[in-house]
Amino acid sequence: MNLFQSVSGEYEQRLQRAEALAKSQPFAAEILNFYSAIARFQKSLYSHIAADRGVQAAAAANSPLRDKLDITLVLPHFRTFLNVAETHAPAPLATAARELSQQPPESWITQLTNYWRAAGLTDEHAEAFAQFFPRAFLQPYAEFLGQQFTKPTLLVTATVCPLCSGQPYMGVLRQEGDSGKRFLVCSFCSQEWEFRRILCPTCGENAEPKLPVYVPEQFPHLRVEACDTCKSFLRTVDLTKNGHAIPIVDDLAALPLSLWAHEHAYSRPRPNLLGT
């Protein structure tokens, strides 16, 4: 029996959701088709990582998540990943993939390990394009490790991920009892933790009139949860309104919400994978 949680099935759900959304929301089809190519690669890398005994031993060890990376395990797959990106990405990213594939492995190691060490931390410069390659490539690894931790019991409200200190990049509302509970999703290890409904994770504002929520008429399961004090916003997928949504995929497709937030001068503290 494998004691390690393996949820490569989640990747299959993401792929199916991306395909369905690409059909129903043609404005996001290009983004979603690119995402699907990346997610197919991630799914196979995830299976490889989850089956590795060295990774399993590191996951079981009592050490911080960010100490558990074995770069030599995934490095042989980086060139394949760059080929996938070059084939399916929009032009500027495809060019960047080609340039990166010509660099020596030592340079890849530096970029990947630097990302792993600093990603999602407050002093890290976060720009979707710049961090795309290490983020998309290492996401399955961080996600697998994050899944092996027992969910910590939070005694205080945590504004960063309890497992890896990464900042949240989006939110999820899940039905629990007769109301929706709010969770934040970590920008590094993709794990969720519970968070108060009326509280800005960026600045701590807790006055309801300062925390406007925008729900577009045509997509009632998507929300912009904004803060007038620090002018930040978090996009949130409301699973109580649509149980078929897959948060990380629906967030990528939520382009109209970015427009709204931009028009109202709210900015997102952390980008999603594709900067949408």
- Rounded to an integer, what distance in angstroms lies between the CA atom of residue 183 and that of residue 194? 4
Instruction: Name which of 82 and 184 has its Cβ closer to Zn ion.
Output: 184
Residue 259 corresponds to which tokens in the numbers above?
A: 């427009």
**Least Å from the CB of residue 136 to Zn ion:** 16
DSSP state of 61: S
**Least Å from the CB of residue 28 to Zn ion:** 26
Q: Name the E strands within the chain.
A: 168-176, 179-186, 192-194, 213-214, 222-226, 233-238
Residue 137 corresponds to which tokens in the numbers above?
A: 């490539």
**Least Å from the CB of residue 165 to Zn ion:** 7
**Least Å from the CB of residue 65 to Zn ion:** 7
Q: Exposed (0-12), middle (13-18) or buried (19+): which is 194, by Cβ within 10 Å?
A: middle
Instruction: Name which of 251 and 253 has its Cβ closer to Zn ion.
Output: 251
Listed in sequence order, the DSSP H helices in 89-195 are 91-101, 105-118, 128-148
**Least Å from the CB of residue 106 to Zn ion:** 28
User: What does the binding site for Zn ion look like in residue numbers (CB under 5 A)?
Assistant: 161, 163-164, 166, 186, 188-189, 200, 202-203, 205, 227, 229-230
Q: Return the SS3 of 232.
A: strand
Instruction: Name which of 75 and 230 has its Cβ closer to Zn ion.
Output: 230
Instruction: Name which of 29 and 203 has its Cβ closer to Zn ion.
Output: 203
**Least Å from the CB of residue 116 to Zn ion:** 12
Spatial CA neighbour of 193 closest among 224, 228, 164: 164
Instruction: Name which of 94 and 230 has its Cβ closer to Zn ion.
Output: 230
Residue 163 corresponds to which tokens in the numbers above?
A: 């497992």
Q: Strands 192-194, 179-186: parallel, antiparallel or unpaired by DSSP? A: antiparallel
- Rounded to an integer, what distance in angstroms lies between the CA atom of residue 186 and that of residue 270? 10
Q: Strands 233-238, 179-186: parallel, antiparallel or unpaired by DSSP? A: unpaired
Instruction: Please give the helix or strand (H or E) that residue 19 lies within, else none.
Output: helix 8-24
**Least Å from the CB of residue 167 to Zn ion:** 9
Instruction: Name which of 200 and 273 has its Cβ closer to Zn ion.
Output: 200
Instruction: Name which of 146 and 173 has its Cβ closer to Zn ion.
Output: 146
C-alpha neighbours within 13 Å on the C-beta side of residue 84? 20
